[in-house]
Amino acid sequence: MNAFRLALTGTGHWRLSAASLTAALGLLAAACAPAAAPPATSAPAAAKPAAAPTTAPAGAAPTTAPAAKPAASGASGAVSVAMVGNPQMKTLEQLKGDFESSHPGITLNLLVLPENQIRDKVTTDISTNAGQFDLVTIGMYEVPLWAKNKWIDEVGTTLQQDANYDSNDLIPSIRAGLESDGKLYAAPFYGESSALMYRKDMFQKAGLEMPDKPTWDQVAGFAQKLHSPPNQFGICLRGLPGWGEQLAPLDTVINTYGGRWFDESWKAQLDSPESAAAINFYVNTLKTAGEPGSTQAGFTECETLMVQGKVGMWYDATSGADLVFDPKQNPSAANMGMAYAPTKEKPYSGWLWAWAFAMESNSKNKPAAYEFIKWATSKDYVNLVAQKSGWGAVPSGARKSTYDQAGYKDYAKGFAAVTLDSIQNADPAHPTVKPVPYTGVQFVQIPEFQDLGTRVSQEFAAAIAGQQSADDAIKKANDYANQVAKQGGYQK
């Protein structure tokens, strides 16, 4: 999330968006105390807005869609929803009519934008009390902070009162990341960790074998052997600046190398031997065996390259597996494999994230908004998507029951076990080898991290592009992290 939205102009300079500055000032003025925040993690980057399949695989999905259930609450009126434009949300957008037909009297107004754009718009709206939206998609970074600022409502009590909703079916680690003081403030739509996806056919041709739990040293070696430009590249890693773009995977590398953002006294540690080694490794791997134009590559671009058969490996969100393992979206789906997030020192290095629906405290139509939340994050919705669009389009990683569905188990047999195990074992409260005063695997859960992470990622992008050395980028990043820690009152 970019509190200070720094956009790259055509001349290569960074400019600050006025709307984002307003949002940032609202956030910083309401910033929390320096204590460690409740559990959470980082934003997966914007995913490919691919059209959902029109039919389900034969025999894999329910034979009929769940029966429409008119709202028992009597809610009516318009509900405005702001959503990140990931494939799962694009599928939901296509099913808007199903909701409206089963909830007579309620009209949905959906705004679907790419991740950076929707983050700016939502942050500005909520921090200035503009009241443009009833519901917004946010994640584990924002929820505890926004709940503390009373920008969003607690939703768990109302959902728990609906026996059909079955709140106990939510995956515990996902639910915990969306809570504040033990109360649920956002209903998970889909959840994820991170993992390494790869092309089994390319590995076989190169005489390579991917272990279930690879190390980063092994992955770098594989990438060099698979790298054969201009037609094939060893690995795709996000290089696009942004705290939820490039820094999401890079932070997991820093963590597993034994590095950290801050020590227990909030002194910046990005220039420590462990952190510096991880950052240099990431930069050098991209420069020597990564995709071309990597500083413009996020989730969407890497997923596209994987589907096109141009990269041998892709380290990113486990939700990407639902796309690249789907034969309707990837002609080479049968050649896909998935391994756990690579490690160095710390096991289970993957992140933890969920996109979830939160209700703005100044929502103008809360009864109708609750009806939408219950519909979009329900078991019935999973079955509806499976029946209409196929199992590859369902929002996974949020409910335990999804992984018990025979159709999904068959469809996801190549990646479901790794995904679920990674989600369950991610530990935002203890993300690193050494102790830290903050929470978060791929982010530091303080309000200032929105700007800090984006600024730091810009320096690393310049190193990836060859505009400065990695060591120079690390020094600038560390200096800025110290400055933020001092100005925020974290570092005494």
For residue 48, report the phi and psi dihedrals to the nearest 5 degrees. Answer: -70, 125
Within 10 Å of residue 404's Cβ, how many Cβ atoms? 10
Residue 470 has pLDDT above 60, yes or no: yes
Distance CA 334, CA 313 (A): 15
pLDDT, tens only, 94-115: 999 999 999 999 999 999 998 8
Alpha helices, DSSP H, located in 390-467: 406-411, 416-425, 449-464
Give domain 194-351+432-488's CATH superfamily: Periplasmic binding protein-like II (3.40.190.10)
Q: Any idea which residue has 């992140």 for tokens?
A: 351
pLDDT in the model for residue 161:
95
pLDDT, tens only, 30-77: 333 333 333 333 333 333 333 333 333 333 444 444 443 445 568 999
Task: Assign domain 77-192+352-423 to its CATH architecture.
Answer: 3-Layer(aba) Sandwich (3.40)
Q: Which residues contact 219 (CB under 8 A, 6 or more apart)?
A: 196, 235, 313, 315, 342
Residue 308 has pLDDT above 50, yes or no: yes
pLDDT, tens only, 108-134: 999 999 887 898 899 999 999 999 999
Mean pLDDT score across all residues of the chain:
88
pLDDT in the model for residue 73:
66
**Domain 77-192+352-423 identical in fold to domain 194-351+432-488:** yes
Among the ranges given (9-23, 172-186, 194-208, 443-457), the one the predictor scored with the smallest mean pLDDT: 9-23
pLDDT in the model for residue 71:
52
Among the ranges given (6-15, 164-173, 425-434, 458-467), the one the predictor scored with the smallest mean pLDDT: 6-15
Per-residue pLDDT averaged across 253-279, rounded? 99
Per-residue pLDDT averaged across 291-309, rounded? 95
pLDDT, tens only, 181-228: 999 999 999 999 999 999 999 999 999 999 999 999 999 999 999 999
pLDDT in the model for residue 7:
33
Q: What are the sequence ranges of the domains in the chain?
A: 77-192+352-423, 194-351+432-488
Distance CA 308, CA 330 (A): 8
Among the ranges given (12-26, 123-137, 311-325, 471-485), the one the predictor scored with the smallest mean pLDDT: 12-26
Residue 87 or 215, more confident? 215
Residue 409 has pLDDT above 50, yes or no: yes
* Angle between helices 366-376 and 379-389 in degrees, nearest 10: 60
Distance CA 287, CA 197 (A): 20
- Sign (positive or negative) of CA dihedral 72, 77, 80, 83: positive
Residue 455 has pLDDT above 70, yes or no: yes
